[in-house]
Structure 1
Amino acid sequence: MLYRLEIENFSSIRDPQVLDLTIAPNVPDPDCRFAPVFPGSELRAPKVVALFGANASGKTTVLRALEFLFTLVRDSAQRTVPGFPCERFNDDASRSRPIRMAVELGGAMNLSHDVLRRMEAGEDVEYGVYRYELVLEVVDGLPQRILTEALRQKPKGQGKWQRVFERSEDGQVKDSKTFPLSGFHHLLNTLRPNVSVISSFALFQHPAASLFVEEARKAFFLVGNANLVQDKSVIDFLGASPDLLPLLNKELNRIDVGVEGMRFEPTPNGPQPMFKHSGLELEMPWALESHGTRSFIRMFPALAITLRRGGLCVIDEFDLAIHPLVLPEITRWFYDCLNKNPLDAQLWFTCHSASLLDDLNKEEIVLCEKDRDGRTNVYSLMDVKVRRDDNHYRKYLSGVYGGVPKLG
């Protein structure tokens, strides 16, 4: 469960922003909206995190920071060009300031194949929290190399942070029993400046690095241009995943008036979806189906797979062409800890549909606001004086919470 995000000098975020989503043990949770940061932890975090704010306020920037970190950990060894796919804040003072980011999340300690085997066998293992920190050097306005990188753990969430590995400015890497370098020291000679230690070592089957990469692959991102998912890629994926089609049809039948189901018609160009509508003689092809139905289908695989195996699902413009009454239905999937979400999967999204605010608790609401100098501020509604019985919809639109457009 991800509970903390720190960002500095990244895109529209200039000054350090710290988003701490931990929830105290005495906060009531009758709807199963929160989950322990790790099994047995008293601290909890929301399963649903909704980012609201005016256009260009920096909501997508927050999601991009998350995506950047997870992608760097799991995929950076595959990059063939120098530098990084990110930008610093666009002012002169930030041209040479480093980009800093960090995340904290719960998980099994001392991750190894033996620990995974014991978890799968239902045996007790030690849990705690991890902290991944990254600092990028910026030269003449461009991020050039990883200055420092570190992964730390805190067993049971107590005591001081313990090193898993640390990468220093001179490229040296300190290891630990959890992340030993024995037999892999030679990889330090070829560690590229824009590649994470985890991704680089996983490429050569380092046991711990490989497991951390697999954990990072449990995060799905539909952010920015990636949210404009190519129809063919989604159709091909669903066509090759027959176990997902019954689940999709069940939900389509519930939320889409008139749609009885979808099936695939084999063609020389691959599977083509056809929709059966109540009262219509002929099935409807994908191109003639409603924009809202297609938007729902595009995000469904990421939602369904995340709920099935746990992890993180991040969606930009969650409400794009989706009816406001359908949005809370999707968020309720993540509250269903008995059936749909037994592994405490987490959903982060940006949204403009203010009506959804009445279906969210203050712990689930994050606001983004940009000042006159173009700097994004990020804060949880927990940081604002809010009564639990407040009408979030009315107070947000009236500007009490901030994060709304200033017109005129």
Structure 2
Amino acid sequence: MLVSISVENFRSFSGEETFSMVASERLAGSHSDHALPIPNSSEKVLRAAVLYGANGAGKSNLFKALRYVERIALRTSKKNANTKRERYLFCDDLTKPSSFDLQFIANNKLYRFGFKVDELHIIEEWLIEVVGRKEKIIYERTTDTNGIVMVDAPELSKIGPKLAALAMIGGPQNQSFLATISATLNSSEYGDEISGILRWFKSTLTMVAPDESYAELGRDLSENIDFLNFAGDFLKASGTGVDHLIPQKTEISEDDLRSLLPKEVANHFIDVVNGDENNGRGIVHLPNGNEVMIEKAGESRIYKISIQASHTLPSGENFSIELNEESDGTKRLLDFIPALHQSKNKNSVYFIDEIDRSMHPMLVWKFLEFFLRSCNSSSSQIIVTTHESNLLDLELLRRDEIWFVEKDQSLSTRIYSLADFAVRTDQAIQKHYLNGRFGAVPFLGNLENILPQRNK
């Protein structure tokens, strides 16, 4: 689970701002099932958070900050490549580093992973286990002015000689040591703890941007009958008009693949999977909404996966259409359904940016309610940004699960919680928000001044 993230000098964040999922002790009696214990701590972490703010306030920049942390944690970099950090543009000091600090729960432990970064270097990096009020350093990494990477790793040296040797080398200056471990060693050589941390970034954390689709939807629908039935039932119950989904998975040849994709793209796709750079599996989305999947298990096999949506006509007959012909709202909802299905069975963290895009307000509300009801037996978590004010409902969420994002006079983003305000549980939170009591709403000027003047 995500516990907190602190960001400084990134996009619209100037000074350090912290978004925290730690439950307020003052609200312990409110939706107590929404909070789970933090390991080795008297505090609890929340299952959900909803972030509000005007357009341009910085909601999506928090999403992008976490995605950047994920990228730094996992991806390797070419020599002398830029770190792709996006500094706060109105900062006078162009050399000031950007800073990120993430707290999360993996392996039933609380960890801190963070770093300071400029255009070319990861200047500092740390991975720490937090045990109560104490911190157990797993490793600390620094890069000096000459670009020399030094890693202090007292705990890693106990795991194995290869990991200890890698700590002595340090790795590239523009790449995190965590990514260097993942790219250089096998899991058996870096142990269960690092494996669990890497798995949190690779599998537990799922981020869905407004213009993104769920990458493995076709594969999951064609290979997992429980998920297929769940997705069909949910679409039907949501009033989309879809009765059920029909996946078709067909094996094709390399020549068939080259007829579906530009030759250079097809060849690169095959080379990447055969080179085991993606754990022997790769997926490409075609313009018509279908997928191509390559699996490497001995010999590589290539499949084309298509999804049809079946509708029941008034006559009782079934009529199927390609999924890409469905409405944007139906396709957007289908991208979210894995969050509902997986929340019942495994620990997952979903961060969805602009959940209300193409979605009806009632459906957004029911989606969030369903998630919170269905994940009681797991440690699943959902964080969303939205403009949908119907979610400002204290029967649905706790006050500390509602957050606001706005820019101050210096054009820097600030983040704060509804728990910072004195409000009664019977108050109309939605009305107060739209009236501007909590901030984080658009400040509209006099639009009359820009209307064309009519001749009298």
Q: Shorter-chain-normalised TM-score: which range? A: 0.7 to 0.9
Does structure 1 retain, via aligned residues, the 8 Å contact 2:8–2:15?
Answer: yes
CA–CA distance in 2 between the matches of 1:107 and 1:179? 21
Q: When the two structures are superposed, what TM-score results if normalisation uses the length of structure 1?
A: 0.84
Scaled by the length of structure 2, the TM-score of the pair is 0.75
Alignment of 1:181-192 (within 5 A): 182-187=161-166, 188-189=168-169, 191-192=171-172
Task: Give the aligned partner of residue 141 of structure 2.
Answer: 167
Q: Helix, strand or coil for the counterpart of 2:105? A: strand
2 CA distance for matches of 1:326 and 1:87? Answer: 35
Whole-angstrom distance in 2 between the partners of 1:257 and 1:321: 12
Q: Give 3-state SS (helix, strand or coil) of 2:120's partner.
A: strand
Whole-angstrom distance in 1 between the partners of 2:79 and 2:223: 30
CA contact (8 A) 1:262 1:276 kept: no
Q: What is the CA–CA distance in structure 1 between the aligned matches of 2:98 and 2:364, rounded to whole Å?
A: 34
State how far apart, in whole Å, the 1-side matches of 2:339 and 2:78 are: 24
1:275 maps to what in 2? Answer: 310
- Offset of residue 295 of structure 1: 0.8
d(CA) in 1 for partners of 2:321, 2:72? 41
- Aligned-pair CA distance for 1:246: 1.0
1:64 positional shift: 1.1
- In the other structure, the counterpart of 1:194 is 174
Partner Cα distance (2:20, 2:213) in 1: 34
CA gap of 1:21–1:403, structure 2 versus 1, over 3 A, is: same
Deviation at 1:294, TM superposition (A): 1.1
CA contact (8 A) 2:124 2:141 kept: yes
Structure 2 CA distance for aligned equivalents of residues 25 and 376 of structure 1? 26
**1:305 Cα offset (Å):** 3.1
2:115 pairs with 1:134: yes
Deviations 1:176-206 (CA, angstroms, capped at 9, x unpaired): 3366463334434361112211121122122
What does residue 113 of structure 1 align with? Answer: none
The structure-2 alpha-carbon separation of the partners of 1:340 and 1:153, relative to structure 1 and needing over 3 Å to count, comes to closer
1:346-379 per-position Cα deviation (integer Å, ceiling 9, x unaligned): 1111101111112332111111101343211111
> SS of the counterpart of 2:67?
helix
Tell whether the 8 Å contact from 2:346 to 2:379 is kept in structure 1 after alignment: no
Partner of residue 104, structure 2? 105
1:232-251 pair list within 5 angstroms = 234-251=217-234
Structure 2 unaligned segments of length 5 or more: list them. Answer: 253-303, 446-456
Q: Deviations over 1:41-73 (max 9, x none)?
A: 431122111111001110011011112112321
Q: 2:409, 2:24 → 1: CA distance?
A: 34
Structure 1 residues 92 and 265 mapped into 2: Cα distance closer, same or farther (>3 Å)?
Answer: closer
Aligned to 2:285: none
Instruction: Work out which of the residue numbers 365, 379, 397 in structure 2 matches 1:344.
Output: 379
In the alignment, structure 1 residue 213 sits paired with structure 2 residue 198:
yes
The correspondence of residues 330-341 of structure 1 with structure 2, limited to 5 A, is: 330-336=367-373, 339-341=374-376
- In the superposition, relative to structure 1, how do residues 276 and 81 fare at CA in structure 2: closer, same or farther (>3 Å)? farther
**Quick one: which amino acid aligns to residue 173 of structure 2?**
P
Q: Write out per-residue CA displacement over residues 70-106 of structure 1, whole angstroms, 9 at most, x where no aligned residue.
A: 2321x22266771223300002414111101101223
After superposition, the Cα gap between the structure-2 partners of 1:70 and 1:266, relative to the gap in structure 1 and judged at 3 Å, is: closer
Tell me the equivalent position of 1:34.
35
Give the number of aligned pairs: 376
Work out whether 1:315 is the aligned partner of 2:352: yes
The alignment status of 1:381 with 2:418, answered yes or no, reads yes
13-22 or 170-179: which moved more? 170-179
1:315, distance to aligned residue in structure 2 (A): 0.8
% identity of equivalent residues = 22
The alignment's C-alpha RMSD in Å is 2.6
Q: C-alpha distance in 2, partners of 1:45/1:184? A: 32
Structure 1 residues 328 and 32: CA distance shift in structure 2, 3 A: farther
Letter in 1 for 2:392: L
Instruction: Give 1:175 deviation, angstroms.
Output: 1.3
Are the counterparts in 1 of residues 308 and 320 from structure 2 also a CA contact under 8 Å? no
> Which of 349, 355, 361 is the equivalent residue of 1:324?
361
Flag the 1:270–1:161 CA change in 2: closer, same or farther, 3 A: closer
Opposite residue 151 of structure 2, the aligned amino acid is V
Q: Is the 8 A contact 2:46 2:401 kept in 1?
A: yes
Contact 2:14 2:91 in 1 (8 A): no
Q: Residues of 2 paired with 1:42 and 1:184: CA distance?
A: 34
Q: Distance in 1 between matches of 2:23 and 2:416?
A: 15
| Matches of 1:341 and 1:81, distance apart in 2 | 47
After TM superposition, the structure 1 stretch with the greater mean CA deviation from structure 2, 205-214 or 299-308, is 299-308
Structure 1 position 259 matched with structure 2 position 242: yes
Which amino acid counterpart does residue 211 of structure 1 have in structure 2?
G
- Which of structures 1 and 2 has the bigger CA Rg? 2
User: Partners in 2 of 1:318 and 1:57 — Cα distance?
Assistant: 17
Q: How many Å apart are 1:146 and its aligned residue? A: 0.5
For 2:312, the aligned partner's letter is H
Could you tell me whether the CA contact under 8 Å between 1:6 and 1:19 is conserved in 2? yes
